[in-house]
Amino acid sequence: TSTTVALNSQQASGEKMTSTESEAPVASPTSTALMGPTSPPPEADQFKTEANSAFNLGHYDQAIDLYSKAINLYDKSAIYYANRSFAYLRTECFGYALSDASRAIALDQSYIKAYYRRASANMALGKFKLALTDFEQVHRRRPGDSDAKAKYTECKKIVQQKAFEKAIAYEEKRVSPCDEISQSLQSMTIEDSYDGPKLSEEGNKVTREFVTQLLDYYKKSKVLHRRYAYQILVDMKALLSAEATLVDVAVPEGTKFTICGDVHGQFFDLLNIFELNGLPSETNPYLFNGDFVDRGSFSVECIFTLFSLKLLYPKSFFLARGNHESEYMNKIYGFEGEVKAKYADKMVQLFREVFNLLPLVHLIDGRILVMHGGLFSSDDVTLEDIRKIDRNMDIPDSGPMSELLWSDPQDLPGRAPSKRGVAVQFGPDVTERFCKNNGLDYIVRSHEVKEKGYEVAHSGRCITVFSAPNYCDTMGNKGAYITLTGGKDLSPKFTSFDCVPHPTVRPMAYSSSLMQLFS
């Protein structure tokens, strides 16, 4: 089912387990980790007890709220902060988890679990050296703890591997994976048993017939032949290399234009969007606003569908980069594992190369700016500054490119450190100034699950759209997409939709064992 909502032009102007780190939050009020001149008041300890119960039931947001109430009554307990840190880890607010764990360590430097929490947060943020320092502390203090030893050993391997990769990168000239594979495409045999879609015989190009057959083939849980998959990636590299960091999009008067948010490997929900809103074409243009892959276990199907449509309709089908189109996120959240399972290690390298070339921002009729994450840590960033960003790299830890892909809006004015530990949170005043300074009606972004699949914030200046319903088969949210009609009035219209059934492959089926280090 789907629901459509229109927004007028004025409205439009997130105890008991087996190992040390994995234990449920601590319940004992007599721990030596309770610091300060007095013990916590009974009311604080009651909030903590209720929070522990909520945590064990998987109600992490409720647990965070209750731990916060305990901390408001008594802010000298390392346990309270470490427990809330664990809840933040479960909700993937890694920045908040890191802050709470550090606070717990400041209160009690002997409290082992706080080091675990901080290491976990740093692992989630890809800060492996910092994580290793804390895992070393845990391993040194508990040498007999097999879980601590395993995580210390795994983290140390990652640090050493990254150091090795950095060293050899200086020693050898990098060869483009796409260029390298293109030289051997013609020698790849297509077996007689292959009964799937084929690129055109003249030039190996994507056709409308190919796309239609590909969708049907994927519905049967079959895999596109590797020769055609590699060809699509090679062609995407060539196409995206010619695109700008900020793509200007013109919507002819009276023409419908659709903006979709995160898809996250939910292929059958992607098909449902096309069922509801029509297949993309030159007269039915789309923009998909990043995070095509990871989490959902049909990411390969999603990305080759979207890439095929981009090759078929390069001027009317648009793709923007999300924070999950990156090496580390793909390694952790399933896409790398899925590509290796369905194809080969080599293909992962091609995806990295192509993802680095995806545009970051789209400007619709000079009035609506669309990016995956959000705005900046400084007010002086202009559209011209965005145009000048050299995007051909993995996503950096900081700076305008990182903020475009990672930032989130907040209700309060001003800016705040990000709950994610990357980029910033920006308030309605920040959005208002950015829109006025750059002549924009409003911004559209994605990046966050919303109950109805969309959210209008900052007095209509900041709109979020998220297109993965019942995210990870657990969230119960609707998905949504936005439609605009070209002309003077570019007011957004929202269509919400429910999830549809999919084959019995669980989300995160291909995720990395590294998840165990911080999940």
Catalytic residues: 324
Residue type, 110: S
Place of tokens 């740093």: 122
* Secondary structure (DSSP) of 459-504: GGTEEEEB--TTGGGTS-PPEEEEEEESSS----EEEEE------S
Q: For residue 249, give the 3-state DSSP assignment.
A: strand
Write 304-307 long-range contacts (CB < 8 A, 24+). 304/214, 304/224, 304/229, 304/232, 305/211, 305/214, 305/215, 305/218, 305/267, 305/270, 306/263, 307/232, 307/233, 307/236, 307/354
Which tokens sit at 37?
A: 């001149």
Burial of 274 (0-12, 13-18, 19+ CB in 10 A): middle
By DSSP bridging, strand 415-417 and strand 442-445 are unpaired
Q: For residue 406, give the 3-state DSSP assignment.
A: helix
Nearest 5°: CA angle at 402, between 399 and 403?
Answer: 80
C-alpha pair distances (Å), 191 with each of 194, 222, 226: 6, 15, 11
Please enumerate in sequence order all residues whose Cβ is within 8 A of that of 425, keeping only pairs 6 or more positions apart, or say none: 407, 408, 409, 410, 415, 416, 417, 418, 419
Tell me, letter by letter, the H, E, C secondary structure of 308-342: HHHHHCCCCEEECCCCCCCHHHHHHHCHHHHHHHH
Whether 413 and 427 have beta carbons less than 8 Å apart is answered as yes
By DSSP bridging, strand 2-6 and strand 479-485 are unpaired
Rounded to whole angstroms, the Cα distance separating 494 from 517 reads 39
Whether 398 and 408 have beta carbons less than 8 Å apart is answered as no
Residue type, 156: K
CB atoms within 10 A of CB 210: 21
Place of tokens 């914030």: 457
